[in-house]
Structure 1
Amino acid sequence: MSKQIITLTVNGTDLAFEPTTQAYNKYINELNMDDKVAPAHNYLNRVVTADSKDALAKLLNLTGAGLKIAAKVNEAFVPELEISIKN
């Protein structure tokens, strides 16, 4: 399976990410009611490409940036599913 590269432009800066199912699952498992920011930052640092690491670090200093960026990465990475209930 080839790697999926997701490129986002955030405040004029291109960031490239290589999410994996393992990294995504770890992120979801780390989330809890009292902590969402640290898991988002950790996840992004795990999946960001080496070339984008410094730019990401600067953006993560902005309030709420980690959660918004993680959401966009996951929006592109996680497949859409059509689910219905059968009676």
Structure 2
Amino acid sequence: MSKKLIEMKIAGKDVSFSPNVTAYNKYINEITMGNKVSPAHNFLVRIVTPETKEALTELLERPGAALQIVGKVLDEYTPELEITVKN
């Protein structure tokens, strides 16, 4: 999958992300039943562009922000696959 720049305006702040397969896989592997916030936070920090990192850091201080933001990033990054089960 090619690199994709995802640009967002979040609570009035411009933030850009450059997700990649390695960071995505690490995020998925870190998620556990009892730990979803830290992996989301870490994933976002790994993929934020350097010029918008300060804005992201401020946003991540808000309760629930990491999960809301990661949800939008993943909506844009992960492809919708058509899957059919053949019998």
TM-score bucket of the superposed structures, by smaller chain: over 0.9
- Written as runs of structure 1 = structure 2, the 5 A alignment for 1:39-54 is 39-54=39-54
- Secondary structure in 2 aligned to 1:39? helix
Q: Residues 7-18 of structure 1: matches in 2 within 5 Å?
A: 7-18=7-18
Q: Shift of the alpha carbon at 1:2?
A: 5.2
Provide the C-alpha distance between the structure 2 equivalents of 1:16 and 1:25, rounded to a whole number of angstroms: 19
RMSD (Å) for aligned C-alpha atoms: 1.2
Matches within 5 A, 1:24-35: 24-35=24-35
TM-score, normalised with respect to structure 1: 0.94
Flag structure 2 segments of 5+ consecutive residues without an equivalent.
none
Structure 1 residue ranges without an equivalent (≥5): none
Letter in 2 for 1:38: S
Identical-residue share of aligned pairs (%): 52
How far apart are the structure 2 equivalents of 1:69 and 1:46? Answer: 13
TM-score, normalized by length of structure 2? 0.94
